[in-house]
């Protein structure tokens, strides 16, 4: 009985967190959009506060928008994406700087469960199969002060850099 009590507590806690939308309820932007629910894409300008040229909020735009199934936390997406270091010189267009992640297709991890950087995890929720989404991720939701080593032949991610991902949702697994 003593050994089963912790198991019951963990199970109940998991059910409560699932029913409430997960652990934590911070927002993806100052707009109040939930980090654990579908992320609403409007335009990339939502990333900037008070005229700043450095993104402080997660933002995205869908172009073109898909019409398929909607990606939810816990599902495994099949994605095609390219990652760029944010470049303020391209403000107003695509914000894409040097490529740090060459075009990649696939995925074997569930979204919304912490396998990816926070901005990627949160920014993909609510995508529909067929969507092509551009994510503008602030440094605080990317790698912050500890970026990974550069891939051979591609740009290194400087510490505290915002990132841009162009992502297509091809399909959704379980």
Is the bond leading into 135 cis (omega within 30 degrees of zero)? no
Return the H-helix or E-strand segment holding 62.
Answer: strand 59-62
For the chain, give every domain's residue range: 28-172
> Regarding the domain delimited by 28-172, which CATH topology (the fold level of the hierarchy) does it fall under?
Chitinase A; domain 3 (3.10.50)
The residues facing 59 across adjacent strands are 136
Model confidence pLDDT, tens digit, residues 52-82: 888 888 988 888 778 899 999 999 999 999 9
What pLDDT was estimated at residue 39?
62
pLDDT tens digits, 89-107: 877 677 888 999 999 998 8
Is there a contact between 167 and 106 (Cβ–Cβ < 8 Å)?
Answer: no
Residue 43 confidence (pLDDT):
73
Task: Give the chain's residues under pLDDT 70.
Answer: 1-39, 92
Residue 97 has a CB neighbour count (10 Å cut-off) of 19
Q: Note the pTM of the prediction, 2 decimals.
A: 0.75
């Amino acid at each position: 009985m003593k050994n089963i009590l912790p198991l019951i507590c963990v199970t109940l806690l998991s059910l409560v967190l699932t029913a409430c939308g997960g652990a934590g309820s911070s927002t993806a932007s100052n707009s109040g959009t939930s980090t654990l629910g579908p992320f609403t894409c409007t335009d990339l300008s939502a990333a900037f506060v008070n005229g700043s040229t450095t993104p402080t909020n997660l933002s995205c735009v869908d172009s073109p928008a898909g019409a398929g199934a909607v990606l939810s936390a816990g599902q495994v997406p099949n994605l095609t994406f390219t990652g760029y270091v944010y470049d303020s010189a391209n403000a107003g267009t695509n914000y894409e700087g040097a490529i740090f992640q060459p075009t990649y297709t696939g995925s074997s991890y569930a979204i919304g469960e912490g396998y990816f950087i926070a901005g990627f995890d949160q920014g993909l929720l609510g995508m529909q199969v067929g969507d092509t989404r551009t994510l503008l991720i602030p440094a605080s939701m990317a790698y912050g002060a500890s970026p990974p080593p550069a891939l051979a032949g591609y740009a290194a991610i400087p510490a505290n850099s915002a990132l841009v991902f162009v992502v297509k949702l091809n399909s959704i697994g379980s």
